[in-house]
Homo-oligomer: A and B are copies of this chain.
Amino acid sequence: MIDRTVGSAVDAVAGIEDGSTVMIGGFGRAGQPVELIDALIDSGATDLTIVNNNAGNGDTGLAALLAARRVRKIICSFPRQSDSWVFDGLYRAGEIELELVPQGNLAERIRAAGAGIGAFFTPTGVGTQLAEGKEIREIDGRTYALEYPIRADYALISAFRADRWGNLVYRETARNFGPIMATAAATTIVQVDEVVPLGELDPETVVTPGIFVDRVVAVGERAWLDEGTFVGGVTIEGTPLDTEGSTR
């Protein structure tokens, strides 16, 4: 029997070596695998190269990993945000390396890694600083730059539900980078709200087939859901409104 589920986030991230390249899903906070990142911090793995759209928000999740000085380099499209103070400080201090990639090239390079494409010509970034030094070619009257795949040793992503084969469905815009990162890493680790019995996910609606998934951990339902139904009552950070009221 195939069973890709593991018992805890700690088990899920076991074995991530120092120096690994780790993709982390999410766009801002949506789809960020917070429990897996916390477990990665606890694991002590360091000297990491991180691939994410952003470079952390606030003091939790990816920002906390950065704050713990575990990240040597980050490959992302949009590090600077109103609440990216952790990254900002490290960057200004010269303590983190940044590879800035236009968001569509970032996505396509990840997809290329998963799909066995050796390189591709993209129009995005041509004529800008971010295509400097790249191979440029005119094809059919349009100018393109050659971009290479981004592979990873590990991908940490968040999905909505999984089955024990590792089939995944996502929720709304929390899907973002999850499906492509799952294809591009040697080992893909997923946190989900819930693992459902095999056969319960409609095969027409599976977004990530289990072939791309190695380990799945259920972390419990998001605060804004009740048995899978949206009930609201939270801030954009996912904090329950009543908690919010009482802590400020």
State A118–B202 Cα separation when bound (angstroms).
35
Contact B117 A108 (CB under 8 A): yes
Contact B118 A140 (CB under 8 A): yes
State A125–B61 Cα separation when bound (angstroms).
44
Complex interface: chain B residues within 8 A of A248 (CB): none
For the complex, count residues of A whose C-beta is within 8 A of B: 24
B-contact bits for A169-189, CB 8 A (1 contact / 0 none): 111100000000000000000
Closest B residue, CB atoms, query A139: B118
The A140-191 residues at the B interface (CB cut-off 8 A) are 140, 142, 144, 148, 169-172
State A170–B142 Cα separation when bound (angstroms).
34
Contact A119 B148 (CB under 8 A): no
Contact B123 A144 (CB under 8 A): no
Interface centre among A118, A171, A205 (most CB of B within 10 A): A118
The A115-149 residues at the B interface (CB cut-off 8 A) are 115-123, 137, 139-140, 142, 144, 148
Cβ of A242 < 8 Å from any Cβ of B? Answer: no
Complex interface: chain B residues within 8 A of A226 (CB): none
Contact A139 B148 (CB under 8 A): yes
Cβ of A227 < 8 Å from any Cβ of B? Answer: no
Q: Which of A's residues lie within 8 Å of B, judged by CB?
A: 108, 112, 115-123, 137, 139-140, 142, 144, 148, 169-172, 202, 204-205
Residue contacts A-B, CB under 8 angstroms, 30 given: A108-B115, A108-B117, A112-B120, A116-B122, A116-B123, A117-B120, A117-B121, A118-B120, A118-B122, A118-B123, A118-B137, A118-B139, A118-B140, A118-B142, A118-B144, A119-B120, A119-B121, A119-B137, A119-B139, A119-B144, A120-B120, A120-B121, A139-B148, A169-B204, A170-B204, A171-B204, A172-B204, A202-B205, A204-B205, A205-B205
